[in-house]
């Protein structure tokens, strides 16, 4: 009988193929883990932005004279952001058991967190006016947002007791730029 010799070239080819297959599978696993981390980061970013964007939208939608206020009388003793719509009803945003919630009810009705709409998870919710700048600052553990109020009428009513009225209450919320080149702002003639 004739005996066949095994060629080292055949073993070399099998080894190369196994190495390529191993590298390919390692790249697939590495790519899947990277994608999972990136998608998770995007989801976290979306949730963070969604909470703050929702609060900003509620304030902007109700930004009128004396329509937006901050109270310190939530069911858990924290801040309540109240945005009245002029009909005697208001959107009230507050923290309840680690969840930021909004209820829409009569302005002075008792809080009902069980029927409130859940906005998002957070352990921190603070809201405060900065009257000198006409800004409502909202802080949550996902970040903070400064909402520049467009309506300056009634700004002095938002001041807490004992503070002086700022100069901002007598100035417009924005200045109209003059592109005519006369150097002074105002209406064009």
The dihedral of CA 47, 77, 96, 67: what is its sign?
negative
d(CA 4, CA 103): 85
What pTM, to 2 d.p., does this model score?
0.60
Computed over every residue of the chain, the mean pLDDT equals 77
Cross-strand bridge partners of residue 128: 137
* Residue range 5-21: mean pLDDT, rounded: 87
Residues 120-167: tens digit of each pLDDT: 888 888 888 877 778 888 888 878 888 888 775 434 344 333 334 333
pLDDT for residue 152: 59
Cα three-residue angle 148-179-64, rounded to 5 degrees:
25
pLDDT for residue 14: 92
pLDDT for residue 128: 87
The dihedral of CA 162, 130, 89, 142: what is its sign?
negative
Distance of CA 35 to the CA centre of its chain: 24
Residues 40-71: tens digit of each pLDDT: 988 887 877 888 888 888 888 888 877 888 88
Domain boundaries, the chain: 46-170
């Amino acid at each position: 009988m004739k005996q066949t010799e095994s060629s080292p070239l055949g073993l070399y080819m099998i080894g190369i193929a196994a190495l390529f297959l191993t590298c390919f599978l390692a790249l697939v696993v590495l790519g899947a883990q990277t994608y999972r981390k990136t998608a998770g980061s995007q989801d976290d970013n979306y949730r963070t932005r969604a909470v703050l964007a929702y609060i900003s939208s509620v304030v902007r939608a109700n930004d009128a004279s004396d329509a937006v206020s901050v109270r310190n009388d939530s069911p858990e003793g924290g801040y309540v952001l109240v945005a009245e719509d002029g009909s005697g009803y208001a959107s009230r945003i507050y923290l309840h058991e680690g969840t930021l919630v909004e209820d829409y009810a009569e302005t002075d009705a008792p809080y009902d967190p069980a029927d409130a709409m859940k906005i998002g998870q957070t352990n921190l919710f603070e809201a405060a006016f900065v009257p000198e700048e006409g800004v409502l600052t909202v802080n949550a553990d996902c970040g903070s947002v400064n909402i520049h109020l467009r309506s300056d009428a009634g700004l002095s009513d938002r001041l807490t007791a004992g503070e002086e009225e700022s100069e901002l209450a007598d100035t417009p919320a924005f200045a109209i730029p003059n592109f005519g080149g006369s150097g002074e702002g105002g209406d064009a003639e």
